A and B are shown apart, each in its own frame.
Chain A
């Protein structure tokens, strides 16, 4: 949230309730409250229990190199809607220790592990603090501002070597190993032992004597992935099994960790847009929108009417395409190999055709700009969108519904499997269809409206059982709601400009912080951006829904069979580009 207004609306003022412990953040363009680390747990507990801030959306670290400090930023929301309450805690860089919030919000688990991995903040009281995106034994904490990667050229883009000198080179030519590799000085192969998997297996719990009958079986650890057709990419599940039953399970990720955030801090603001396409690569339009909203908050620009409508149409089309894909591949995971997916992909292809004609690419749309969209709808696309939204998609969704929903096999495999109760769903910070299928009607489009969603007539889809079947149904519901929104947007689509001001390749972004969030098809996608007034963001963090939705995965699977794990994972609907970033 920019500056003060958002915080003023909140009824709680931590600085008045905790004098001397919490103080408003007075840096220019910043908001929220700085809390003394030793009182962090106390303050957050009170905010959660008494003020109702029971949903921890995002927890991330920022490295203030010049001040010698690391800062954790927590965005707390009320699950009933409304703006954020931002709480921050600082710790010295050379001895970075903060209290863990996992006992309060289990949803902070993976996020704190990420902060430890990339920033080296030690969280006291964290039950399982080990690296998450990189491997145990990796040298250094790469998101710290003074850590340089092997292909490091300059602090910020554009690089000087590109123009006007322009002597082309491949980075590997200049690296002694040619492999994007560097080792600590004095490193020798002989004095080193691998520890990557040891830590993982040590953390897996085993339960002895589940039912101490006459037949005793040993518990074994089984790995699914990273190369496994059911894991939707390069995702790994380490599970302790007792026979076929899951005793303990831990998601292992980072196999697609592409350093999105570090590259994002090197890029200029504009250059980040095509990179956001590659986060959740099934719904690039929504990612574009989330990032554009965050930066527009800082820049204080608003897109023209027509651009707003085009944005909504494109984003909702993305949601339809994404949910079709998710349903198709959930069925794949159930064993209905490829036929349902083929039907879903066919409709998705028709939507992608629209994206290709409008944005230029099927998947990597790169369509939104700060204060507008890249180009207007070309001739004939409106007609095609109308045909899709009014005629084809409703018919095809009904067909998919008839094809799958009452299928007895699907019902018996899905109903009652992987149940996530509402209280847990909130505590684990899940978002999107996973949260809404558990009976929590929380949709950012309604709870904290952005763009022009308040103008349309639509309902927040919600289901109450929180099992795999409901997570399947809610995606069908959301497709229907999205079709409704697209129909209204197409009906009301005004003419006019599509961009505020002239398109610029260097945007001026005033100093400050902003947290822009949108309801991505996967859940709440947030971008936390800090600008220092320079052409590049100082901090660029992505609150990835796929990543955080995985926090309760182990809990959801316990007690089920191995075959159910695959289905539960499919029902969460993760995309590894976003999970690992």
Chain B
């Protein structure tokens, strides 16, 4: 199908474009920018007057309890690629399971699913999963999701094996022993409310360990959902010294802090926990300067019952796919960043972390994933209207700017 997206403000961070240009799509790929290719006839024209036309968003952390609802939520949020951690049921440690997940997602024709394969079998942290086979099946990297590898020798071997094939390992920087029993940032709010704390040291100790193991094994390391100022500083330092390490942050950590727990608001329970206001400032700065390469939604739909419990017993996380774009735009506006800089964190930078140069940009030949949004349109967050099976958000009732008007995913208009 030939599609023309007309009169929009084309923002393509990877290629440094921010200009009013038409976009031409043919056979699932970007065909041309600006001038129509010779003999191009559009089967469909999308009028993008006053709207921004950018690469479809890439979300690096999305849980998929139900494929159809969550991938619909992705499209509603302008997200065309979701990275799914391997702690699905069953765990993604068999190539057949990965192939089936990808096929089921493709059959829906919504957002693309790029699975992370299990680093160890059943995520138990003992024996290695069949990484090469999982990669052939479509896994873009290997991860333990939120499960620890308690035996560092096993982790060392797993990293060595991954490095053999130049696979990237994506790990949560959280020492499970220091975080044990904790439910909130070990700070002033936890002290006040009598909540068991997760100290910043749980993150920094883990980063130190993981970075050292990555250096020793030569593996590429991606740290998932960093949460503290000290953590950002350590990653900055490691990158400056040439370590092959990247990291991302969850978008709610750019906007919320421990203070938003108020009096035990279970909707403000996240993993990692919302930390101090100073941590939030460092995460925002780290994302702007590029130490933190990407921002994800950490989309975690929970059943409503999971939040109707005392704070310490409630499920962590909230659905976030629908809020990723407006929350990134809000951060960019407050930080005084260009659209190019801001959108790079959910497009080209994210594609680089995954290792896919055909995604996350709009040069001819790239996969035709496009998001068209009105940057000025404001709307009120109503979790009841989320396509996701998760219907809660600590930001319910807030007014956000940035409304998705149209999405093209793999050349299909949605």
- Tell whether A pairs with B: no
